[in-house]
Amino acid sequence: MNFTHTKENATLTFTLTGELDHHGAAATRQAMDKLIRDEQPKKVVLDLQNVHFCDSSGLGLLMGRYKTALSVSAVLTVKDPSAAVMRIMRLAGLDKLIKTERSA
């Protein structure tokens, strides 16, 4: 899994590509948490349109970034989750906790 990030105004956006699985989750979590804490955004967006697989480690990554965002008083939003990611989010109940948005 790879990610890039941008910050515009008070929104920190992470664009993830690849698979949300145990192989890259630990390093990705640490790097994202550091950026969230350093940047202190009001909104954190995880753009998942290029993520086509998510396992329990990926769910852990989403839930952990939700908690990290809350710790700096930010809102977390998942943008354009693929059908596979949305399915597992629904199964885990994360769709009720984490806001999702779709591009036009």
What tens digit of pLDDT does each residue of 64-74 get? 999 999 999 99
Assign 16 a pLDDT band (cuts: 50, 70, 90). very high
Q: How far apart are CA 50 and CA 52, in angstroms?
A: 6
Contacts of residue 45, Cβ cutoff 8 Å, sequence gap at least 6: 11, 12, 13, 14, 76, 77, 78, 79
Instruction: Specify the pLDDT at position 23.
Output: 79
Alpha-carbon Rg for the chain in angstroms: 12
Helices (H), the chain: 25-39, 56-71, 83-92
pTM of the model: 0.93
At 21-56, the pLDDT tens digits run 887 787 899 999 999 999 999 999 999 999 988 988
At 76-89, the pLDDT tens digits run 999 999 988 999 99
